[in-house]
A and B are shown apart, each in its own frame.
Chain A
Amino acid sequence: MAVTETEVDVRSVPLLKRLTEPKVIIGLFVAMWVPLMLYVMFGKYIGNAKDIMLLPAYPATVILYILGVRAFRESWVAVLGLTLVFFWIFMAVTAPYLPLLDPNKPIAPFTVPFTEKRDIFFWLGTDFKGRDMLSRTIWGCQRVLVWGVTATAVAYVVGTAFGLIAGYLSGWWDEIISFLGNVLLSFPVMVLFIVILNYLGPSGFNIVIAVTFASAPAIMRIVRGLALDIKTRDYVFAAQTRGESAFWIMVVELLPNVRGPIIVDACLRLGYTTVAITTLTFLGLGLQPPDPDWGLMIKESAGTAMLWKFSYMLIVPALSVSSLILGFNLLADGLREMSLRD
């Protein structure tokens, strides 16, 4: 559907307001996300070019954060969530340019935080192999963020598509899709993950597949319910009576109207997915060593962290994961609160 262009005198509108147009925001999101995603997923194939690739993401992140704070300023919960999430995104895109030690280079094992060893001051200490914890924590957030968001997004695309089909077309489509969804939902999530990843082998893309299998049925149910409600509305009836195809109705009439509850649910589910990915890595089924990753850090330090003195090895990555998930959840809360107000 063509959205008629609004002709505004460009000079009279303040800069920040001009940036809130949907096209600009989508553009900023792309500028922030695509480089980061390419960097993490395909970094090893890109070679030297990868170091300059993240440059556009850096200003995009800052601008998006400012816009976000402006939009959510009425809910401090949402602003706090946004700040936590964007802190980690910012860390992820700036990691290559920060003066950090090589995260994989063993320097001085078992250095306690805030101490100096071999003329280097370790803010967060080193792990049992002597690798810098600060550097590993900051680099590690890249993988968790990128794979978590990607996996959730894919699960949403699949779940929403099936939900719309089941809800709008009903009949046998609904019966079959709902039945398959119920079968998948009846597995304990961890069992499903372990089965899929054992079968496909541990890698980032397989995590995406596993998360999709585990999350899509639940998303499908939400969307299906919303679609069942919306399809009785007169505007859908109007579209039917002017001979629109089922595909068009699902994409143009239904999809935009299910987005509200879905966006809130997506923020919550990002939290679950982050937990799931960290857990999988902890179990040795996710991303493989030696590259830094929070789940991996927890796993590797689990043995040594039993000693009270070295518990920081566990606490640092664990707190990182928690703060990210808390950020997503608070963001979801804030969004819901704001959607209720209007």
Chain B
Amino acid sequence: MTEQTPVLECRNLSISYYTRAGEIPAVVDFNLRLMPGEAHGIVGESGCGKSTVALAIMQYMGKNGAIVGGEIFFEGRDMRTMSEEELRQIRGSKISMVYQEPMASLNPAMLIGEQLAEVPIYHESISRDEAMERAKQILANVRLPDPQRIMDSYPHQISGGQQQRVVIAMALLSNPKLLLLDEPTTALDVTVEAGIVDLIKDIAQEFGTSMIYISHNLGLILETCDRITVMYSGEAVEVGDVVDVFNEMRHPYTRGLFSSIPVPGADKNARPLIAIPGQLPLPHERPVGCYFGPRCTYFDEPRCDKRPLPMEEVDEGSLHFARCVKFREIDWDAAKPKPIEREEVLPGDYVLRVEDMTKHYEIEESGLFVLGGEKKTVKANEKINFRAREAETVAIVGESGCGKSTFAKVLMGLEDATDGDVLLGNLDLSQLPVEKRDAETIGKLQMVFQNPFDTLNPSHSIGGQIGRVIRKFGVEKDKEKVEQRVHELLDIVKLPRDFAKRRPRQLSGGQKQRVGIARAFAGNPSVVIADEPVSALDVSVQAAVTDLLMDIQREHRTTLLFISHDLSVVRYLADRIVVMYLGQIMEKGSTDEIFAPPYHPYTEALLSAVPIADTSVEKRHIVLTGELPSPSNPPKGCPFCTRCQYVIEGTCDITPPPVREMGERHFIACHLSEDTLRDMKPVITVEETAPA
């Protein structure tokens, strides 16, 4: 490394928040050295203090937060000594920040062009025309098609992906030295995310901007960053070059994190995920010694519960640090905990059959005049066909707007299907609203919801809510028996029995999701629909909840319909996969068939878009251009033709694609010839390096 001044340097930074309960240390002893042009990733679970670090760098701590120790140097100057005026000059011109929610970062009442022009007008006092010209140029640089149209739009008139590009453009306008990205793609769909990640990488090269990239997604960090800091409960536990940390992690928490995310090669039977036991300590309940101690398998009483606990260099001069007193003693190759192998479950008879299920919504386009109403049809689901067997996991994969939720609503009886059949056993549910179903049918088909903070009614006790379901489905009527059954269900989801008396606000996200699962299994269901049940949870908790779901399924031989956009999770747990796009099935088949060629072009793009936290994985790079068409105005032919890289002009955009049978129960809806499809190269290849 040459004698350059680092763009940003944090030395022993400590940040606290002051609340009624007293001082709460949010970040403790944080060190960071960011060289020009470098991209540094900060990864950690919610509440670990990663956003606090970003706010501290911006010196934007709010009233109740303060830097209680350490220094922040920006280009060699201590930021804590700068005046309010100096800071204002730096923010937005030398340090820019991109937040998670693009819509919240843009002023909804201003044209995008004017918002962009404001930045150089304020910071560089240039003329309006010149600023507008610059704005247009920068929009082209973030690869937005037709910059002039975007300049003349309001934020709500463009899509989420475009909004985030505009926010990035705004951050780049003044040519900052440092760009802070706080979960910039979390709110976006995977294929859109891939485009943004691509853009961020190019920016680093083109403009030489240093970046701090905050994310909970290890795969994204691997794709974008040079160095990484792993944070746990307000502390950096491991710092190093991305490749070093990914391949030779030297902290038990980092190891735990990597073991709990599904990478190619993980398998629900042969190599199940290993969850980190326990949960993140609350900031005021942290242990005295190593914060990770209570959850660590290597915890050693007299050594790990003491302070100070400094960051130590792994090898002399390697710039790879870990905050663990025992890392030299742990045998990192042999110590990989051996997962318990599980027996494969053989699927039984078909339980659920969906035949040509179609759901259209009629929307009345009411114009300015009352009489000008014109009816429009939104094709939410178009001829959905698939079957699910007993004890089988069928994943429905697709991005927002693909019709997953509509499908779930029809199945649950909240909407009638427009056409086609949905057969549960021999009973057709497609025209049977939930009020007309008997308790047994309802109990047989239950759902686990996405958002753990929404899934339970905050006003009632856990036991009361599960008990209501038991009574409603007629499993038990007697008060004592209901209580007993509630306790049984809590046992199944591995929660203590006295949780029955608690209120939802006393539970963590993962615990709430477990209660949600217990509730779904109260009526001994034969089919459970799980709508992204783990996507809102922290990585280390995700694995535990996923495994729990699998275990219960295994035991009860339940059919699981797993709705998700996350192909890594799907690959891990699904037996069969249905890929949907704009309300239509693009491809369906067994998990192995989906993840290996032949692919549908959309599946191919989706596979390429999912970030994978494994350095031995090579990915073919496919970035989709264009935006998702509106379901009320889908393309005439193949729904994917507007973004497909193989599009055949004159065919794909006019006629709907034929469904080709590529193998037994493996179907692809595409115009490409069978041979072309079979000739596709695999997207993900795992490098066969040294066997683990």
Chain A residues with a Cβ under 8 A of chain B: 1-4, 6, 233-235, 237-238, 240-244, 252-253, 256-257, 259, 341
Contact = CB atoms under 8 A, between A and B. Distances in A.
Contacts of A4: 461, 463-464, 483, 500-501
Contacts of A6: 501
B20 interface: yes
Contacts of A2: 464, 467, 479
A240 B434 contact: yes
7 contacts: A1-B468, A6-B501, A235-B454, A241-B447, A242-B434, A242-B446, A341-B20
A259 B459 CA distance: 10
A41 B175 CA distance: 75
B414 A234 contact: no
A111 to B, nearest CB: 52
Nearest to B465: A1
B74 interface: no
B613 interface: no
A250 B472 CA distance: 17
Given A235-B454, A237-B449, A242 B464 contact: no
A26 to B, nearest CB: 16
A241 B465 CA distance: 14
A148 to B, nearest CB: 28
A37 to B, nearest CB: 28
A234 B455 contact: yes
Contact of B454 (A1, A233, A240): A233
B454 A241 contact: no
B442 A243 contact: yes
Given A6-B501, A237-B449, A238-B447, A243 B461 contact: no
Contacts of A243: 434-435, 437, 439, 442, 472
Given A4-B464, A234-B451, A241 B434 contact: yes
Contacts of A234: 449-451, 454-455
Given A2-B467, A237-B449, A256 B501 contact: no
Interface residues of B, number: 36
Contacts of A240: 412, 414, 434
A256 B457 contact: yes
Contacts of A244: 472
Contact of A241 (B414, B457, B460, B464): B414
Interface of A is mostly: helix
Contacts of A233: 454
A256 B504 CA distance: 14
The 5 closest A-B pairs by CB, nearest first: A256-B459, A234-B449, A234-B454, A241-B412, A1-B464
Q: Which of B451, B457, B461 counts the most A-chain CB atoms under 10 A from its CB?
A: B457
Interface of B: 20, 412-414, 434-435, 437, 439, 442-443, 446-447, 449-451, 454-461, 463-465, 467-469, 472-473, 479, 483, 500-501, 519
A262 to B, nearest CB: 13
B501 A241 contact: no
A251 to B, nearest CB: 11
Contacts of B413: 241
A256 B464 CA distance: 14
Contacts of A341: 20
A16 B220 CA distance: 55
A238 B468 contact: no
B400 to A, nearest CB: 16
Contacts of B458: 257
B455 A238 contact: yes
Contacts of A237: 414, 447, 449
B369 to A, nearest CB: 20
A244 B414 CA distance: 12
A257 B459 contact: yes
A3 B442 contact: no
Contacts of B450: 234
A1 B472 contact: no
Contact of B472 (A242, A253, A256): A242
A234 B456 CA distance: 7
Contacts of B459: 256-257, 259
Nearest to A256: B459
B457 A235 contact: yes
B519 A238 contact: yes
B505 to A, nearest CB: 9
Contacts of A238: 447, 449, 455, 519
Contact of A235 (B439, B456, B464): B456
